[in-house]
Amino acid sequence: MKNSIILSDISLVYDLNKKFKNTLKKNIINTLIDKNIYNEKIFALKKINLKIEENSVVGLYGPNGSGKTSLLKILAKITDPTEGSLEVPYNSNFIGSTDFNFIDDATGEENTKLFLKLKKIKDSEINEKIQNIFEISKIGNFFYQPVKIYSSGMKMRLAFASTQMIKSDLLLMDEWISAADQSMREYIYTTIHDKIESSKITIIASHNHEILKSNCSQIIYLKNGEIENIKSV
């Protein structure tokens, strides 16, 4: 029996007035600009209704602020929706260019070991997977140095290599190609299809329409937190 992801009236709201309540920052901005500037709510997502069938590869397309990353984080259960309900009957693997939670003072090796433990990888498998991450990331001896000295490209390499070790039924990719350097892009292109094939559902968010057209069977067009259109490819 096939499972589906079902989202019903999903909304994500940021209450700016609550966020900046009784803060020095709010008082300064109220004085200098507009006392009511934070007396508002920002809708990252508005009443999203979706059903995504098993064996689908779906693209999320839209400009910055359209809600792509917010929707992925809700599907990954990293963020809880403000309203609505969702059914996600799969274990997920979220690959984001900037959302891997590094501990800056820890080394790359220490970060990957913690990541694998949090993902409940067996102790007997951790050393082998760390060696694989070292080889895939191609950051050399920086792997044994604190992450705080890494460039953004090195962080992307380490994050992608780490998530490569996790098998999942639901694969979520957020701008997975844009932050990589050329050699890493080549690696991603040669391996990403294998990950898509091994996942039951893949959802890719990107600004690049051509990437989505070449990888997805369906593209969801988002604008201002709402679904503007859904097209088959």
For 164-187, how does the pLDDT look when each residue is reduced to its tens digit (9 = 90+)?
A: 888 889 989 887 666 566 777 777
* Whole-number average pLDDT of the chain: 85
Which residues lie below 8 Å from residue 117, measured CB to CB, with a gap of 6+?
A: 126
For residue 30, name the pLDDT band (cuts at 50, 70, 90): low
Q: How many CB atoms lie within 10 A of CB 105?
A: 9
CATH class, 55-232 region: alpha beta
Q: Which of 178 and 198 is assigned the larger pLDDT? A: 198
This prediction has a pTM of 0.77
Measured between alpha carbons, how far is 142 from 109 in angstroms, rounded to an integer?
9
Token digits for 62?
Answer: 């839209």
Q: Is residue 97 scored above 60 in pLDDT?
A: no
Token digits for 71?
Answer: 């929707």
Mean pLDDT of 62-77: 92
CA atoms within 13 A on the CB side of 182: 0
Measured between alpha carbons, how far is 94 from 122 in angstroms, rounded to an integer?
20
Q: Is residue 38 scored above 50 in pLDDT?
A: no
- Cα angle 137, 58, 9 (rounded to 5 degrees) comes to 115
Is residue 232 within 8 A of residue 87, CB to CB? The reply is no
Measured between alpha carbons, how far is 226 from 50 in angstroms, rounded to an integer?
11
Mean pLDDT of 123-147: 95
Q: Is residue 209 scored above 70 in pLDDT?
A: yes
Q: Is residue 11 scored above 60 in pLDDT?
A: yes
Per-range mean pLDDT, top range of 86-100, 101-115, 189-203: 101-115
188-208: b (≥16 Cβ within 10 Å) or e: beeebeebbeebbbbbbbbee
**Residue 178: per-residue pLDDT:** 62
Scanning the structure block, which residue is given the tokens 């979220």? 94
**Pairing relation of β-strands 4-15 and 83-87?**
antiparallel
Measured between alpha carbons, how far is 61 from 216 in angstroms, rounded to an integer?
11
